[in-house]
Chains A and B, each alone.
Chain A
Amino acid sequence: MSANLRIFWFLLIGLFSYMEGFSAVIRISPGQSIQKAVDGASAGDTLRIASGVYQQSGIVIRKPLVLIGENHPVLDGQMKGNILIIAAERVTIQGFKIINTGKSNMDDSAAIKFFDSKNCVVKDNILENAFFGLHFSNSSGMTISGNQIHSNALREFEVGNGIHLWKCKDSFITNNKVSGHRDGIYLEFVTNTEAVENLVQKNMRYGLHFMFSHDNSYIRNTFKNNGAGVAVMYTKNVLMKENRFEENWGSSAYGILLKDISDSEIVGNIFLKNTIGIYMEGSSRIEFTGNTFQQNGWALKLMASCDQNTFKANNFTQNTFDMSSNGSVVLNTITENYWDKYEGYDLNKDLIGDVPYRPINLYSVIVEKIPAAVMLWRSFMVTLLDRMEKILPTMTPDQMIDQSPKMKPYDFG
């Protein structure tokens, strides 16, 4: 029986390797040079690297190869330059623990660096103490999944980005955990890319940072406790869906900062305990629906340079201030949201309040001008002033109103 089974497996493996074009499996153990093995392998081969420590860096791969680490073999760059440099198609890097890259802005030292590559996979690696974690330029069809990227740098200038894509397209970034880097995920000139279910926290600057990156989507990611939250700029056609933006605290920390973003959708996200939930300027035609703003200092800072944005059916609860703005011109639509500060009534019982809600209160205007004034918030004097302003608006923009505030919060599950 067992002999039969062995022959069966033998045939099966033979068949598969035939189909793969006779790709070989090369085993590497500690002490051997990975670079030599790579040079000796032919396109399509699989390199299995046994667990252990490899103090090697600057490994260059220029052909389609599959590199698989067994039990996370350690590639230790000993603080010198890049560790893996790849410029090829169909390369897979899986299951490595890559540590200690060089720390230099001259060559942007990275744990794994891709140039001009196509259809590569970076999967289940652990990156520690790298300057840049994963660095991609001019590549397409990348799959980046299940990597854990962590840096122990103390200051922002001592470290690069966790996942860095420049001029890439058609890529998929999923299930990664990034912490302690400068920007968690950084995209510049990246198009048609999806980021799904990543956990990005405690990075020095931004959790997610992109510019000129059109047609991308960000779904079910968590951006938590990053130095300045998430900042995205100069981009159109973005979809942000069901992400969580949490605990971004500081004088210039945002759940999201939207600068010059247009024609986008921000749907079903949760903004929890940020100093500023969303700050937006110069942005147009963005649809905000089904978002939850909870316990933020300011749920929304909507600068007067924004136009044609729609805020519809969102929940605003337990925020210190629901909204603030820097001007009185209102070119945006705010409608059918639930505001927990709404004190109106609903006589016809259609669950929509009969009097409109003004999300900007007097004191948020004052605090916008004089930040120190926040110290007097909730004092009797300030409550009194706010009440008076509600009855006779003088300082708050009277066009900024929700004409049909909901009486009950939406249940987004």
Chain B
Amino acid sequence: MLKLLKYALYDILKSRFAIIYTVFLALVAISIYQVSDDLSKVSLSLMNIMIMVVPLISAVFATTHFYNNLEFVELMLAQPVKRSQVFLSQLLAVILMLSLSILIGFGLPMLLWGADSSLITLLAVGMILSAVFTGFAFLASVMTRDKAKAIGISLALWIYFSLVYDGFVLYIIYSFADYPLEKATLGLVMLNPVDLGRILMLMQLDISALMGYTGAFFKQFFSSGIGMLVILMVLSIWLVVPIGLSGRIFKKKDF
């Protein structure tokens, strides 16, 4: 397993993409640090990148990577190694590379110019979202045989989670404005990993506004560690379920 992972990782790190992606993130972070005069503005601007761009790149890259490496995977599958190990090594390699890029690309400027708790949270959110969307991408890849189709599915998932879903929730909130919607909204938000990452950031940046919620439930949810814990748990479900599903399909798939 480790050997497989090592080769998969070598392969991915040697690709130009890893370097370009890291440099891109670093350039974005540096330019934001240069124009913004305080840390909270930096984290606001970086948050938009983290929540929009990082999932997109993760989804597209993971899908293309899966298909580009299909020959290697097929070769490996002919060897006496477990299918699940081949699958996991590919997946972990992608997640590790994407996370490392964020860690270096955003982390280095932070080391240079300082960071606060919201920026550290942002790093974590970025890495979690990369992992979640890699899971989605692998699921899309094993579901079809066609690379274009798989990329299409990944993109559709990205559009759905980062744009369509929020519009849908907003529509529901608007239509049912006369009802007490606080808990329903929180529940709906749980059904979207991008929103969860965003809420984690809101808890850092907009806690004063979130505390405007009526009811002790929300006060406790947002101000204590419980909210953070619940969100991280739901995010880990979002991580594990697509991966588990795609792993199961991969095991039975006839290449």
A binds B: yes
* Chain A residues engaging chain B, CB cutoff 8 angstroms: 249-251, 253, 273-276, 295-298, 317-318, 320-321, 340, 366, 369-383
* Chain B: CB-nearest residue to A249: B211
24 A–B contacts, CB within 8 A, in A order: A249-B211, A249-B219, A250-B211, A251-B215, A253-B211, A273-B208, A275-B208, A275-B211, A296-B208, A297-B212, A298-B212, A320-B205, A366-B174, A370-B174, A370-B177, A371-B182, A371-B214, A375-B186, A375-B202, A376-B169, A376-B195, A378-B198, A379-B194, A379-B195
Tell me the smallest distance from the CB of B138 to a CB of chain A, in Å: 24
Instruction: Verify A340–B208 contact, CB threshold 8 A.
Output: no
From residue A285, how far is it (CB to closest CB) to chain B in Å? 28
Q: How large is the interface on B (under 10, 10 to 19, 20 to 34, 35 or more residues)?
A: 35 or more
Asked if B209 and A321 make an inter-chain contact with CB atoms under 8 angstroms apart, the answer reads yes
Specify which chain B residues have a CB less than 8 angstroms from the CB of A381 in the assembled complex. Answer: 163, 166-167, 170
Which residue among A250, A340, A375 has the maximum number of chain B CB atoms within 10 Å of its CB?
Answer: A375
**7 other A-B residue contacts (CB within 8 Å) besides A318-B40, A383-B48:** A273-B208, A275-B212, A297-B208, A318-B38, A369-B177, A375-B186, A380-B162
Decide yes or no whether B213 CB sits under 8 A from chain A.
yes
Structural contact, A374 and B212, CB atoms closer than 8 A: yes
Let me know if B201 is at the binding interface, CB within 8 A. yes
- Is B213 a contact of A251 with CB atoms below 8 Å? yes
Instruction: Check A375–B206 contact: CB distance below 8 A.
Output: no
B179 to chain A, nearest CB (A): 9
A-contacting residues, B169-191, CB 8 Å: 169-170, 173-174, 177, 181-182, 184-186, 189
Closest to B212 in A: A275
Inter-chain contacts of A378 with B (CB < 8 A): 44, 47, 198, 201-202, 205-206
B residues near A274, Cβ cutoff 8 Å: 208
How far does the alpha carbon of A383 sit from the alpha carbon of B47 in the complex, in Å?
A: 12
The distance from the CB of B199 to the nearest CB of chain A, in whole angstroms, is 7
Which B14-41 residues sit within 8 Å CB-CB of chain A?
38, 40-41
Partner of A298, one of B177, B181, B184, B209: B209
For residue B92, CB closer than 8 A to chain A, the reply is no
- Asked if A320 and B208 sit within 8 Å, CB to CB, the answer is yes
- The verdict on B234 contacting chain A, using a C-beta distance below 8 Å, is no
CA distance A369 to B52 in the complex (A): 28
Question: How far is B219's CA from A249's CA once the two chains are assembled, in angstroms?
Answer: 9
Report the minimum CB–CB distance from A28 to chain B (whole Å): 49
Given A375-B186, A375-B199, A381-B166, verify A370-B206 contact (CB < 8 Å): no
Closest to B166 in A: A381
Q: Are B184 and A372 in contact (CB under 8 A)?
A: yes
- A250 to B207 alpha-carbon distance, docked (Å): 10
Of B169, B170, B195, B209, which is in contact with the most chain A CB atoms at under 10 Å from its CB? B209
Task: State how many angstroms separate the Cβ of B28 from the closest Cβ of chain A.
Answer: 17
- Given contacts A372-B184, A373-B170, whether A379 and B208 have CB atoms under 8 Å apart is no
| CB neighbours of A297 from chain B (8 A) | 206, 208-212
- B173 CB contacts on chain A under 8 angstroms: 370, 372-373, 376
- Contacting pair A375 B185 (CB below 8 A): yes
- Distance between A275 CB and nearest chain B CB, rounded to angstroms: 5
Question: Is B140 close to A, CB under 8 A?
Answer: no
C-alpha gap A373/B209 in the complex (Å): 11
What's the Cα separation between A374 and B223 when bound, in Å? 16
- How long is the Cα–Cα vector from A340 to B194 in the complex, in angstroms? 26
CA distance A298 to B163 in the complex (A): 26
Interface assignment of B51: CB less than 8 Å from any CB of chain A:
yes
- Enumerate chain B residues within 8 angstroms of A321, measured Cβ to Cβ: 209
- Shortest distance from the beta carbon of A351 to any chain B beta carbon, whole Å: 15
A298 to B211, CA, bound (A): 11
Least Cβ distance of B224 to chain A in Å?
13
A382 touches B170 (CB 8 A): yes
A377, B41: Cβ atoms closer than 8 Å = no
In the complex, residue of chain B having the shortest beta-carbon distance to the beta carbon of A385? B170
Q: Contact at B213–A371, with CB atoms within 8 Å? A: yes
| Other-chain residue from B40, B47, B166, B223 in contact with A376 (beta carbon distance below 8 A) | B166
Contacts of B199 in A (CB 8 A): 375
| Contact of A379 (CB < 8 Å), options: B185, B198, B213 | B198
CB pair B208 A249 closer than 8 Å: yes
Closest chain B CB from A140 CB (angstroms): 40
Q: How far is the CB of B74 from chain A (nearest CB, A)?
A: 38
